[in-house]
Amino acid sequence: MANKKETTSNLVGILMGSDSDWPTMKAAADALNEFGIASEAKVISAHRTPRDLEQYAASARARGLRVIIAGAGGAAHLPGVTAAFTTLPVIGVPIMGKALDGLDSLLSIVQMPPGVPVATVGINAARNAGLLAAQIIGSGNTAMQQKLDTFKQKLAEESRAKNKTLAG
């Protein structure tokens, strides 16, 4: 568990409620890697280890983190409780569970009360969470902005190239 005085060179914290979320959440770390953004991944549960969550979220800014991504399934309180303890931007990733196709997680994460926002991406959309974190970091960073512009151009080229497969 992070000590309050500890610092980190990681810019993004990737939290998940259980190790069973990692196969989905890894896409956020992979997206950040593409932009050279260092991240740390941790299992912390709003229900099973709530005190660890408070300590992590409350000390995150002082440790040097700029964005927190939090993924959880079912009664997915992790992103919201994280946002309760920090003013860093929090991005929530609803994880598809075994029972209700992830709609339960989506609604748990997206319906935050006024004053405590969580930027919620789609169900299992951890890659988008990583890209959004890169864009948040890039909003005040010219070098990162150039990388994001190049990424967008590549995305557009790939989309236009799909027309060729329709031609045949």
Q: Which residues form the interface with ligand RP5 (CB under 6 A)?
A: 16-18, 20-21, 45, 72-74, 95, 97
| 17 versus 92: smaller Cβ distance to ligand RP5 | 17
| Minimum CB distance to ligand RP5, residue 105 (Å) | 7
| 57 versus 134: smaller Cβ distance to ligand RP5 | 57
Q: Which residue stretches of the chain are H helix?
A: 22-34, 50-63, 78-84, 103-110, 126-138, 142-167
First to last CA, the chain: 57
Alpha carbon distance 53, 131 (integer Å): 24
| 39 versus 108: smaller Cβ distance to ligand RP5 | 108
| Minimum CB distance to ligand RP5, residue 64 (Å) | 25
On the 0-12 / 13-18 / 19+ scale of CB atoms within 10 A, 40 is middle
| Minimum CB distance to ligand RP5, residue 97 (Å) | 6
Amino acid (1-letter code) at residue 5: K
| Minimum CB distance to ligand RP5, residue 126 (Å) | 12
8 Å CB contact between 69 and 14: yes
| 17 versus 138: smaller Cβ distance to ligand RP5 | 17
